[in-house]
């Protein structure tokens, strides 16, 4: 994910023409008005069929890139009823999405016990349970509009020090972590967070390396907590700022981050216009040299492509603070067949977050049933001898997301909180089918 400063749409577009898959907006990228920001984010999209991930740190309050975000933030929400967190982050998610931003690095799930901690004011709770409740509320609210992010895994609460300047460290055991700092992250993952950001902090009882570069912490998140979304580093420039000579090479840090399990890498502090492309070249060279498995890079690319494709059909806000309610209209947008085909060929799930109102042309197919009726229909479509004859890739109905399976009768979308079924596809590619997904505007 790249970054350069400035608000000139032409310059930013020229930067993205190098083929980067994402861009993070910092304060220096934010123009004076929302309208100007929408022009800027539109310029970042070189290929409308597969838009880049456009991200921002919009926590609200202490960390707020969008000056017109006046909604309540962590400093007050941590002591208010959970419902107020839901309302604030729904409004914030709508605001962010309206600007053309698709990813918000905005949910601080850390549990700092020390009020003097650099992360205390930004955290949503002061104990595991209150943090978990508000993390779930923020995640659920935002996912209607943008891909939400939990940060900074595995949690700054137990590790003193500011990771912008040093690499914080703690001797907390994994068992103790599971009972404390892990709780809000596990809750946010169960709530369907799309992205998990790994912090530059060390739990010496688990791994001597920072979590952002730790294969073990990535294993824990995926195998023990069940995270199946996109893993991203915190700003790798912070490792440079720590002064530790082991992390003095930004390209080596990027390669190590991908090898550990990150799907996206961030490099902001100390970066130049060449940094992201240099890092991408270094990662490619590591694959060619055999020091980074090609399968790891393909796995990362698959997850990122899925998230990028999901941005094509994610709901846009229909109002200044509310999104889809209150007189919203429906607009059809074309989902590029090559994007859908890529996902159906390579993934066990294609992730959407759109209202349960969808259109497939190539035989009009419009449904708005509950999950049980939807799955019943799918079962009917794949019953008897027909099922035995199918041998195409599988599509799984996934946790907290909408997964799509292309059948001869049309596109099947459903929503469920956990994996519930697998079905074989009749067609591996959607050639000759114009696939459309309704989105709220």
SS3 of 311, please? coil
Token pair for 324: 């889809």
Out of 57, 181, 190, 234, the active site residue is 234
Spatial CA neighbour of 142 closest among 187, 106, 111? 106
Backbone φ and ψ for 257, nearest 5 degrees, come out as -65, -45
Catalytic site includes residue 234 = yes
Strands (E) located in 96-229: 103-108, 147-153, 169-170, 195-198, 202-203
Q: What does the DSSP assignment read for 57-107?
A: -EEETTEES-TT--S--HHHHTTS-HHHHHHHHHHHHHHHHHTT--EEEEE
SS3 of 168, please? coil
SS3 of 373, please? helix
Catalytic site includes residue 164 = yes
Out of 164, 207, 299, 365, the active site residue is 164
Token pair for 92: 């914030």
Spatial CA neighbour of 106 closest among 80, 82, 158, 71? 71
Known catalytic residues are 164, 234
């Amino acid at each position: 994910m790249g970054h350069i400063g400035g608000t000139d749409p032409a310059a930013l577009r020229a930067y993205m023409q190098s083929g980067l898959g994402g861009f993070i907006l910092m304060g220096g990228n934010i123009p004076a008005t929302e309208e100007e920001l929408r022009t800027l984010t539109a310029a970042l999209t070189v290929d409308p069929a597969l838009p880049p991930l456009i991200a921002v740190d919009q926590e609200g309050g202490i960390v707020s890139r969008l000056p017109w975000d006046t909604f309540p933030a962590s400093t007050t929400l941590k002591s208010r009823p959970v419902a107020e967190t839901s309302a604030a982050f729904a409004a914030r998610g709508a605001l962010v999405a309206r600007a053309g931003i698709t990813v918000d690095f905005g949910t601080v799930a850390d549990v700092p016990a020390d009020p003097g901690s650099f992360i205390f004011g930004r955290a949503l709770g002061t104990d595991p349970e209150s943090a978990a409740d508000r993390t779930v509320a923020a995640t659920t609210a935002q996912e209607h509009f943008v891909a939400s992010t939990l940060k900074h895994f595995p949690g700054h609460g137990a590790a003193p020090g500011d990771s912008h300047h040093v690499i914080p460290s703690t001797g907390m055991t994994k068992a103790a972590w599971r009972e404390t700092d892990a709780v809000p992250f596990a809750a946010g993952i169960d709530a369907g967070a799309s992205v998990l950001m790994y912090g530059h902090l060390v739990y010496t009882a688990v791994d001597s390396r920072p979590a952002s570069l730790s294969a073990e912490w990535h294993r824990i998140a995926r195998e023990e907590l069940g995270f199946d979304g996109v893993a991203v580093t915190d700003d790798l420039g912070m490792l440079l700022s720590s002064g530790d000579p082991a992390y003095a090479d930004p390209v080596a840090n990027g390669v190590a981050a991908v090898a550990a399990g990150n799907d996206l890498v961030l490099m902001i502090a100390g970066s130049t216009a060449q940094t992201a492309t240099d890092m991408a070249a270094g990662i490619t060279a590591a694959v060619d040299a055999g020091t980074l498995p090609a399968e790891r890079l393909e796995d990362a690319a698959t997850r990122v492509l899925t998230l990028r494709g999901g941005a094509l059909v994610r709901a846009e806000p229909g109002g200044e603070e509310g999104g889809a309610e209150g007189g919203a209209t429906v607009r059809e947008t074309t989902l590029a067949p090559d994007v859908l085909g890529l996902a159906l060929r390579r993934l066990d799930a294609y992730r959407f977050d759109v209202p349960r109102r969808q259109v497939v042309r190539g035989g009009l197919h419009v449904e708005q049933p509950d999950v049980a009726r939807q799955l019943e229909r799918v079962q009917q479509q794949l019953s008897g001898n027909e099922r035995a004859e199918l041998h195409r890739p599988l599509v799984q109905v996934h946790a907290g997301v909408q997964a799509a399976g292309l059948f001869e009768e049309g596109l099947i979308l459903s929503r469920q909180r956990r994996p519930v079924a697998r079905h074989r596809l009749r067609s591996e590619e959607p050639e000759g089918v114009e696939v459309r997904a309704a989105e709220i505007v």
